[in-house]
Structure 1
């Protein structure tokens, strides 16, 4: 017999779903605004992104979520930064409490890791930070590359960062790594224990 969720858990789940809906709507509106600003047809954007025209339509209507790699690629195609497509922060100071922050897929797969965004969004902002929880059951990460730099800090557990060109780097609790984002890279567990990691980058177009 399954346990029923408490009223508090139900309220929390409802709030999280509403937050995700609002996030998707705001990202979609930003994509549509920027595309129209450039005078680009949705079919052209879809072809360059390697998706169907219906995906762009659903994205712009807030009916589809977007993964981190696709967000980076969209920003490049639209001549902006990833932050330029994220909901605008209404304040110059943002506090993200433990366990909060908008979740985004780390890859274009439903079983991909879902890091939490910890930083502000909006045009003119380049700093982006995500908190990752990597577990043994997670699928291998795709190779990833982007403009700017990556800063990796291991909070707990052990992380192995692989580079398409070069030797892998093993990191433990308290270790940090700073590298160029345009070097193809991916990360996974360095032991059987889960790893909690902070990833910061400064994508600049």
Structure 2
């Protein structure tokens, strides 16, 4: 599991990126912008490539030439950093759950250190068609989404024939679990949401 964050641009890089995108969106060449704005082509290029810091007056003329209001130029710059937890495919934290000894593989797709966990997303893989599966019962509400394969899933006294693209949401206190694996391997996304109580 990797905590990868996007690169934070410094102000000159941010301005250059936004100006260049706006120019290209308008279908303008550097020479066109230089002619319209009265700024040399070399200076426009340096601004776009963050090789120079420019005055507000020059920046305002440049924005007028490319049809980008200067207020819009800075609209996203102070956006909060964020800090999302990013997990690459098949790199979830492998954890042991009740079904592990029955051949299920559980990859926890995000985790929180300390504090209270409000939800847990898992990628569950099942591949043994002949296996007898346990039923599960735990606090919270659960959502499952079949990514691949086919199975019959039990919730209480109800059976659901599920295939790729199907989903099910249910009270996780009621006994539930795979009844029959029809077409393996099966991958399903399971998200357990815990109440605030």
CA distance in 1: counterparts of 2:92 and 2:146, whole angstroms:
19
Alpha carbons of structure 1 residues 188 and 96: separation in structure 2 relative to 1, 3 Å: farther
1:167-194 deviation line (CA, Å, top 9, x unaligned): 2111111111000011011115441331
State the alpha-carbon separation in 2 of the partners of residues 109 and 125 from structure 1. Answer: 21
Cα distance in 1 for residues equivalent to 2:89 and 2:179 = 23
Identify unmatched segments of 5+ residues in structure 2: 2-81
- TM-superposed deviation, 1:138: 6.8
In 1: Cα distance, 2:93 partner to 2:104 partner: 13
1:156 partnered with 2:148: yes
1:185 aligns with one of 171, 176, 180: 176
Report SS of the residue matched to 2:173.
Answer: coil
Task: Encode CA deviations 1:117-151: one digit per residue, 9 max, x unaligned.
Answer: 00222313311000011112573222111111010
CA RMSD of aligned residues (A): 2.4
Higher helix share: 1
Residue of structure 2 equivalent to 1:200? 191
Q: Quick one: structure 1 residues 138 and 112, their matched pair in 2 at CA, closer, same or farther if it must change by over 3 Å?
A: farther
Of residues 123, 131, 134, the one that matches 2:123 is 131
Q: Secondary structure at the match of 1:131?
A: strand
Q: Is the contact between residue 153 and residue 176 of structure 2 (CA under 8 Å) also seen in structure 1?
A: yes
Q: Which runs of 5+ in 1 are unaligned?
A: 1-15, 17-90
Contact 2:147 2:187 in 1 (8 A): yes
- Structure 1 residue corresponding to 2:107, chosen from 87, 100, 116: 116
Q: How many residues align?
A: 115
The residue number in structure 2 matching 1:98 is: 89
Contact 2:142 2:172 in 1 (8 A): yes
Secondary structure (helix, strand or coil) at the match of 2:184 reads coil
Higher strand share: 2
